[in-house]
Amino acid sequence: MPDVFVSNENKSIAEEQALSSSKKPLEQSIPLLASFCHNPTGVSFINQEQDEKIILFLRKHFIKNISWISMGFLFLLLPIFLIFPVNLIESVQSVIPLRFILVFLGFYYLIIVGFVYTSFITWFYNVGIITTKQIIDVDFTDIMYREVAKVRIEDVIDAEYIQGGFLHSFFDYGNVFVQTEGLKPNFEFHSIPYPDKTTDIIIDLKAGKND
């Protein structure tokens, strides 16, 4: 049976626990195609320290994929409109045997599938990670080459963002620039969602390190 009477002491403890839990940032698992995830769970990286927590997981906004998706879809359909009409097939077969046409189409679609796959992998694995201790930028220039850059939060001087144009404002994405000390490389995150929130989080982490 549920408790009808609760002591004031127990009630105050319960209220304090509820209040403290409400102040904790909400954690969430990363959806497969997410471009922005605050306090993600189930994510880790090589050489992550034991007490280091991931604050932000970033990719380019998904809208940046529309160009290669549209191009890939267009080229996939192109042979249907150019070769498959009956009169064109008959005229082509009179010059080129059908087996050569099929081989050519096989290579053609293989190239298109490779282009789409490479474009997706490049977007999917080019990520930015902001933790309580450092900023990490992972860049894949192709499937075989990976470049990872890191900077400690205490080495960050400032962070700012640029958001210009109708599409940037409508879909709320932009470029974030992180300035670092000395000879350490500056960091740039291009076309990420909510650049203002990302900048605020970086500045807040830097301020927390200086307290």
- What integer pLDDT is reported at residue 128 of this predicted model? 94
Tell me the per-residue pLDDT of 114-145, one tens digit each, with 9 for 90 and over: 999 999 999 999 999 999 999 999 988 766 77
- What integer pLDDT is reported at residue 20 of this predicted model? 43
Per-domain residue ranges of the chain: 57-211
- Tell whether the model's pLDDT for residue 15 goes beyond 60: no
Structure tokens at 198: 């990302």
- What integer pLDDT is reported at residue 43 of this predicted model? 81
Mean pLDDT of all residues belonging to the chain: 81
Residue environment code for 129-155, b if the CB has 16+ CB neighbours within 10 A, otherwise e: bbbebbbbbeebeeeeeeeeebbebeb
- What integer pLDDT is reported at residue 90 of this predicted model? 63
The DSSP secondary-structure symbol of 27 reads P
Amino acid code (one letter) for 175: N
The residue-averaged pLDDT of 78-87 equals 69
Is the pTM above the cut of 0.85? Answer: no
According to DSSP, the residues that pair with 136 across neighbouring strands are 129, 150
Q: Could you tell me which residue, 164 or 7, shows the higher pLDDT?
A: 164
**Worst-scoring range by mean pLDDT, 1-5, 40-44, 51-55?**
1-5
Distance CA 152, CA 167 (A): 32
Confidence of residue 4 (pLDDT cuts 50, 70, 90): very low
**Worst-scoring range by mean pLDDT, 16-20, 49-53, 140-144, 201-205?**
16-20
Dihedral, 91, 94, 97, 98 alpha carbons, nearest 10 = 40
Nearest to 108 by CA among 87, 69, 140, 82: 82
Give DSSP secondary structure letters for 100-129: HHHHHHHHHHHHHHHHHHHHHHHHHH-EEE
Amino acid code (one letter) for 81: F
* CATH architecture, range 57-211: Roll (2.30)
